[in-house]
């Protein structure tokens, strides 16, 4: 939002309206850095606020890999994500014509789009020599190129510093580094013996962000890759650096949020959210999962939904989805749908607990009580799947389902209570 005088009030008002909150309140949260509104005028997405006072948001990662490049499939993933409730999309493409794919995705969706520019810088260098041969210019030029295409937010791993690499070397980590961008920079630092340009030239990065309306998503290159590595020295060391980056961004008038883990056991999730909120002074917290166990490949959308719900309940603002393909392969369109829905469930469950959005649950409850199947499908996150399942096994009696048939509890009790109870409705409650 380069031109604050002109565009901010309007997009903030639109974002506030979508949340059902007062624009002034949201404007204050954004001004203080406790909320962000990723909005690049070149893309001009539907205004979306992330952070204090707003509902929990869901991001969906898509993108090609070196082995699978199919633009049509990626656009299909983008559409599926938006259809099932994604609030934002990140294009993590590393295969094919990365710029062309990014521009096609930006054209396809009206939700904010994020990228990780260092992927392109590293990948294009890797095609000719090696990732570690990237220059500072390659990195910053990639960021500018993404900004000029209209990207709304970028992940920048500014906290992967020589200090955190030293912490990594000292650590007893099992999986070391599992962040791809983090790995690029760890390898780069070790090879070149120099500081991470995203940190040593952070002021220059802030200038670019300011000039091109880029919201920074401060990446956690040191995020744990297994639950045993969670909340350890490299992770917390990096978080402290990210807290410093948040303050410098705020001083420069640049919007910043902070990325978080990763693999975190259930009992450490609340602590992780609280740590970020204190160290990063309430900057919006954008978590990947967290995955609460390592042993469920094929079902990591579920482990991520468990962790995401608890993280959001504790104050996380933005959930990056995880698909059933995590740790195994590049996701398909179906995987994107399943991952999106799992994260939307987690975000909504936390919202309801925080007092937001339970109207839809009330509508569903009333439709269930009335045995109104169309009403139930209307209130469902995925009406088509709900309908297909219900119709897969029809019941001999039209108004009940094949689970209980005529022994439907709701039907029996409605009949038994008869007129003895007032109609099922009441004011909305938490």
Site for a second copy in 355-394 (CB under 8 A): 358, 360-362, 364-366, 368-369, 376, 379-382, 385-386, 389-390, 392-394
Asked if 414 is part of the footprint of a second copy (rule: CB under 8 A), the reply reads yes
Give the one residue of 56, 82, 311, 341 binding a second copy; rule: CB under 8 A: 341
Asked if 333 is part of the footprint of a second copy (rule: CB under 8 A), the reply reads no
11-50 footprint of a second copy as x/- string (CB under 8 A): ----------------------------------------
Which window, 16-24, 38-46, 178-186, 275-283, contacts a second copy (CB under 8 A)? 178-186
Half-sphere exposure of 295 (CA within 13 A, CB side): 2
Asked if 248 is part of the footprint of a second copy (rule: CB under 8 A), the reply reads no
Which window, 34-42, 44-52, 239-247, 401-409, contacts a second copy (CB under 8 A)? 401-409
Half-sphere exposure of 134 (CA within 13 A, CB side): 29
Asked if 340 is part of the footprint of a second copy (rule: CB under 8 A), the reply reads no
Give the one residue of 65, 141, 200, 247 binding a second copy; rule: CB under 8 A: 65
Q: Is the peptide bond between 262 and the residue preceding it cis, with omega within 30 degrees of 0?
A: yes
Q: Which of 91, 102, 56 is nearest to 336 (CA)?
A: 91
107-126 footprint of a second copy as x/- string (CB under 8 A): ------------x--xx--x
Asked if 175 is part of the footprint of a second copy (rule: CB under 8 A), the reply reads yes
Which window, 70-78, 197-205, 234-242, 422-430, contacts a second copy (CB under 8 A)? 422-430
State which of positions 183-212 bind a second copy (CB under 8 A): 183-184, 186-187, 190-191
- State which residue, 210 or 390, has the beta carbon closest to a second copy: 390
Cα 92 to chain centroid, rounded: 13
Alpha-carbon distance of 391 to 381, in angstroms, equals 17
- Crossing angle of helices 117-128 and 98-108, in 10° steps, is 150
Alpha-carbon distance of 218 to 37, in angstroms, equals 15
Q: Note whether 63 and 115 are within 8 A (CB).
A: no
Alpha-carbon distance of 300 to 34, in angstroms, equals 30
Report in angstroms how near the CB of residue 180 gets to a second copy at its nearest.
Answer: 5
Q: Note whether 119 and 94 are within 8 A (CB).
A: yes
Across-strand partners of 257?
A: 217
Asked if 403 is part of the footprint of a second copy (rule: CB under 8 A), the reply reads yes
3-state secondary structure of 51: strand
């Amino acid at each position: 939002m380069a031109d604050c005088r002109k565009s901010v009030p309007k997009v903030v008002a639109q974002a506030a309206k979508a949340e059902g909150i007062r624009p002034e309140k949201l404007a204050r949260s954004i001004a203080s850095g406790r909320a962000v509104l990723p909005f690049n005028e070149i893309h001009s997405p539907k205004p979306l606020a992330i952070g204090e006072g707003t509902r929990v948001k869901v991001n969906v990662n898509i993108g090609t890999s070196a082995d699978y490049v199919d633009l049509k499939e990626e656009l299909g993933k983008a559409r599926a994500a938006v259809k099932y409730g994604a609030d934002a999309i990140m294009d993590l493409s590393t295969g094919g014509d990365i710029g062309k794919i990014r521009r096609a995705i930006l054209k396809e969706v009206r939700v904010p789009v994020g990228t990780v520019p260092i992927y392109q810088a590293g990948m294009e260098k890797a095609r000719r020599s090696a990732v570690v041969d990237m220059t500072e210019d390659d990195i910053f030029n990639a960021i500018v190129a993404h900004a000029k295409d209209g990207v709304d937010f970028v992940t920048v791993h500014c906290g992967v510093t020589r200090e955190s690499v030293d912490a990594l070397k000292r650590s007893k980590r099992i999986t070391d580094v599992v962040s791809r961008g983090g790995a690029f920079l760890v390898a780069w630092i070790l090879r070149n013996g120099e500081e991470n340009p995203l940190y040593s030239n952070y002021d220059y990065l802030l200038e670019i962000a300011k000039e091109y309306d880029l919201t920074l998503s401060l990446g956690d290159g040191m995020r744990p890759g297994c639950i045993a590595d969670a909340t350890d020295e490299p992770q917390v060391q990096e978080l402290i650096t990210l807290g410093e980056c948040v303050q410098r961004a705020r001083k420069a008038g640049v919007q910043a949020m902070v990325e978080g883990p990763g693999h975190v056991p259930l009992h450490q999730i609340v602590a992780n959210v609280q740590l970020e909120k204190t160290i990063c002074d309430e900057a919006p917290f954008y978590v990947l999962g967290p995955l609460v166990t390592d042993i469920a490949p094929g079902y990591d959308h579920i482990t991520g939904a468990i962790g995401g719900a608890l993280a959001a309940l504790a104050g996380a603002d933005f959930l990056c989805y995880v698909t059933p393909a995590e740790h195994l392969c590049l996701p398909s369109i179906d995987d994107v749908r399943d991952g999106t829905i799992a994260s939307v469930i987690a975000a909504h469950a936390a919202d309801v607990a925080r007092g937001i959005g339970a109207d839809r649950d009330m509508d569903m409850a009333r439709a269930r009580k009335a045995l109104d199947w169309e009403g139930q499908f209307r209130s469902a996150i995925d009406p088509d799947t709900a309908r297909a399942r219900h119709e897969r096994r029809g019941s001999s009696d039209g108004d009940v389902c094949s689970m209980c048939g005529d022994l439907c509890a709701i039907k029996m009790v409605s009949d038994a209570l008869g007129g003895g109870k007032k109609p099922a409705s009441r004011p909305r409650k938490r």
